[in-house]
Amino acid sequence: MKKNMINKFTLKVLSLIIAILIWLLVRNVDDPIVVRTFYEIPVSIENASYLAENLEIPLLVDGKDTVKVRVKGARSVVSKLKKEDIKAVADMTQIISKDTTPIMVPVEVTGTGISDSDITVRPRNIQVDIEKQKSVEKTIAVIWGDCSSPEIVKQTLRVLDKVAEKYGHTFHYTDAAMGGEAIDKYGDPLPQHELDKCLAADSVLLGAVGGPKWEGLPGEQRPEKGLPRLRAGRGLYSNNRPARIWPQLAPASPLKPEIVAKGIDFIIVRELIGGVYFGKHETYTLENGEKQAVDSMPYAEHEIERIGRIGFETAMKRRRKLCCVDKANVLDTRHCPSIPRGLSLPMKQDRLQAEYPEVEYSEMFVDNCAMQVVKDPSQFDVIVTENMFGDIISDEASMITGSIGMIPSSSLGDGTRGLYEPIHGSAPDIAGQDIINPIACILSAAMMLRYSFDMAAEADCIEAAVNQVLNDGIRTADIWRPGCEKVGCAAMGDAILARL
């Protein structure tokens, strides 16, 4: 009897093991798919007990939140929490198929007394709905620019064409003349019919305009006068210029190594179509015969509120720190609510702060900001400021990164249609010599894909290719140093294309 009971028990155990093995074989997803994600969930001491049992991290499957992973064994983590919060970060690119059971997701946990062995992340309730990426068709107005500019625009369009081929998109290019080219053709830096081409496009890619050939022209006929018209015509009131130092180029920064080592990665949100550049400019003669010039700096409340909102929105997409820069101790036209002068803005700013409680908000006078940018740039995440101050601070910030040949920029308004351009000029002294660095223009195209076309993966692809080029020691003349390979503009384009 006893022996029979043992045999029956053994058979049950074996049956259970076989059932488990069969289940493991059939439970997997049949068709391979790619899962990519970067997802962060803050876990505070107060809610850790709940999250220890219920934390689920969604993974993106072809743009859909259809895969969940759960933090396992987190009770041991909760018991070790002291004062700091912890956060679990899933970061993976992995093929899911029959051969991957279970799917292990790398998890980074920071906090008091936490070790890697405390947390295991596994998939839960996998439901796969594979949807092929939709092809997108966009029209891009291309302003080739003057002097060296057509060389960098040519390489940028090659990169865009490769991205379109890789991801199944279609980009149509419409040439629009502005600057010296437009002056030579039409006698106007931006005729209305050329502006209309830009207005009809989904976005505008601009090289750089101007050069010695047109320096003697009257003010309104100079090549640079086309740019304010283009910005105003498209309603672009926010210029966003990143100041980021690539680790490979850190030695090129003029700042001390110990300052650079702390990191330089912030963005300046500059109001673009208001202030002194767009105010009245008058010169008249006083009673004593002396001439006097007056430049006015007008701002309306809605102009300040909308650029403030862009600043908060940008901070939400980054490290959630916003510094408002003005000169409120002197000027009535101010962008921060610290001193009750001029426009009645504190209520508006307070309302914006209330809408974005997650953002750490601070204020700084522009003269102090100019000093802090070179003293400790790591303190900044997003700076929002008015037109002239932003013009000056962003140029200062561009120099601490090592080369202006690496810095893109975007100009945006209320919609997604923007203007994208490198921050550097047309480089007339090296025009036609295949010397100019095309990376800033190429990175501007990446910004266009990200912010105007909602193509984050495509933008990441371009930025990763640029990063790999730098890792491989390939440099144009402006960023070259001993031990690196010096190449021209076209060869740099070839190198980036090869790494897309």
Q: Which of 332, 367, 376, 429 is catalytic?
A: 367
116 is catalytic: no
User: CA-CA distances (angstroms) from residue 337 to 91, 140, 467?
Assistant: 40, 39, 40
375 is catalytic: no
The C-alpha atoms of residue 446 and residue 452 are separated, in whole angstroms, by 10
Q: Which of 213, 327, 348, 486 is catalytic?
A: 327
The C-alpha atoms of residue 263 and residue 247 are separated, in whole angstroms, by 9
Q: Which of 361, 391, 420, 451 is catalytic?
A: 391
User: CA-CA distances (angstroms) from residue 141 to 32, 173, 206, 287, 439?
Assistant: 39, 6, 8, 51, 19
- Of 131, 93, 123, residue with least CA distance to 28: 123
The dihedral over CA atoms of 490, 494, 496, 500, expressed in degrees to the nearest 10, equals 150
User: Distance from CA of residue 477 to its chain's centroid?
Assistant: 26
395 is catalytic: yes
Q: Which of 265, 277, 348, 494 is catalytic?
A: 277
Query: Nearest-5° angle of CA 270, CA 230, CA 331?
Result: 35
Q: Is residue 174 left, alpha or beta, with left meaning phi > 0 and alpha meaning psi from -120 to 50?
A: beta
Residues listed for the chain? 500
420 is catalytic: no
- Of 342, 335, 396, residue with least CA distance to 362: 335
The C-alpha atoms of residue 306 and residue 301 are separated, in whole angstroms, by 9
391 is catalytic: yes
- Of 138, 414, 377, residue with least CA distance to 262: 377
Q: Which of 395, 414, 429, 454 is catalytic?
A: 395
Phi (first) and psi of residue 99, to 5 degrees? -90, 0
Which tokens hold the place of 151?
Answer: 């060389």
For the chain, what is the radius of gyration of the CA atoms? 28
Which tokens hold the place of 12?
Answer: 């049950």
Which tokens hold the place of 23?
Answer: 């289940």
Catalytic center residues: 277, 327, 367, 391, 395
